[in-house]
């Protein structure tokens, strides 16, 4: 993607990081960067999305043909970028409920609460209450409730730290920004036999034909920073295919240390992502994976 548009105040070539100071000032700075040059948003060729899709269709068509007509649809997400192809890959209970995974899931729940309500009470209680409303999170809630006192205390302390970073860096968006959390995107290819999918933690703004107008904010809670950024670029491509226009600006917040980056989207980087995905399709076909 393009060079960063938001950096550390004293180190202009590094990603931004929350520094001591009023939280409202940090949130205001993030918001101003998201809006910067908003009246000069780039316009894109209306045929761009169609050309990107056609390129992907060629690669997906070859993969689907290799898998055979009777193969079930293959659902692929951001892990495709690393070669961990199928999102339905099996994992052990220990992997499913690793401390990092549990913390990340809880922090994401609190991020949604901050965006929608603007506040968080007790982080652990609020996160568990939110996840208890999701049937697919019942196992995780049960796991957390079964932690011993020491482990639960450590988890609560970590959540307080991370939600503090998130609160400091997440602006309060006016209703006119149309903030929407957990926005799911699914792009069917090869007649629906290959499906690219992903989830935006937060989208703001409304799509405008031929003009970049949507801003995307993504949250990472540990794990490789480089992969988190690449996965966000992947989501930008999916939004381009869905709405016909790329996002205007991307923001990534790391809740573990309070760093952030904001960057623009350009056509050449969408083309690079498509090229990367088509290469992955070919690698996947060679592995003989059946989903």
Per-residue pLDDT of the chain (291 residues; tens, 9 = 90+): 333 333 332 222 234 444 444 566 667 677 767 766 555 566 677 788 999 999 999 999 999 999 998 999 999 999 888 765 444 444 555 567 899 999 999 999 999 999 999 999 999 999 999 999 999 999 999 999 999 999 999 999 999 999 999 999 998 888 888 999 999 999 999 999 999 999 999 999 877 766 667 899 999 998 888 899 999 999 999 999 999 888 888 999 999 999 899 888 888 889 999 999 999 999 998 887 544
Structure tokens, 172: 């309060």
**Domain limits, the chain:** 1-62+72-285
| pLDDT per position as a tens digit, 15-56 | 444 444 456 666 767 776 776 655 556 667 778 899 999 999
Host H or E run for residue 57 = helix 48-67
Quick one: angle between helices 149-169 and 123-131, nearest 10? 90
CB 200 within 8 A of CB 231: no
> What is this structure's pTM?
0.83
Beta-carbon-side half-sphere exposure of residue 262 (alpha carbons within 13 Å): 21
Architecture per CATH, domain 1-62+72-285, reads as Alpha-Beta Complex (3.90)
Residue 186, judged by CB atoms within 10 A of its CB (0-12, 13-18, 19+), counts as middle
């Amino acid at each position: 993607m393009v060079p960063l548009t938001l950096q550390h105040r004293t180190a202009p070539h590094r990603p931004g990081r929350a520094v001591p100071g009023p939280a409202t000032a940090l949130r205001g700075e993030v918001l101003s960067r998201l809006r910067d040059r908003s009246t000069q948003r780039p316009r894109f060729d209306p045929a761009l999305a169609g050309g990107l899709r056609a390129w992907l269709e060629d690669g997906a068509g070859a993969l689907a043909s290799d898998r055979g007509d009777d193969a079930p649809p293959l659902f692929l997400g951001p892990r495709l970028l690393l070669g961990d192809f199928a999102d339905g890959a099996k994992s052990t209970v220990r992997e499913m409920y690793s401390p990092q995974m549990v913390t990340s899931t809880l922090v994401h729940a609190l991020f949604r609460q901050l965006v929608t309500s603007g506040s968080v009470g007790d982080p652990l209680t609020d996160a568990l209450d939110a996840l208890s409303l999701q049937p697919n999170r019942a196992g995780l809630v049960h796991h957390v409730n079964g932690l011993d006192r020491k482990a639960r205390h450590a988890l609560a302390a970590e959540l307080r730290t991370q939600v503090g970073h998130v609160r400091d860096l997440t602006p309060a968006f006016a209703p006119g920004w149309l903030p929407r959390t957990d926005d799911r995107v699914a792009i069917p290819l090869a007649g629906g036999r290959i499906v690219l999918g992903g989830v935006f933690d937060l989208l703001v703004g409304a799509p405008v034909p031929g003009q970049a107008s949507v801003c995307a904010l993504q949250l990472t809670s540990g794990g490789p920073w480089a992969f988190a950024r690449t996965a966000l670029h992947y989501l930008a491509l999916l939004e381009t295919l869905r709405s016909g226009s790329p996002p205007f600006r991307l923001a990534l917040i790391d809740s573990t240390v309070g760093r952030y980056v904001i960057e623009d989207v350009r056509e050449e980087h969408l083309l690079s992502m498509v090229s990367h995905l088509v290469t992955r399709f070919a690698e996947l076909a060679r592995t003989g994976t059946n989903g």
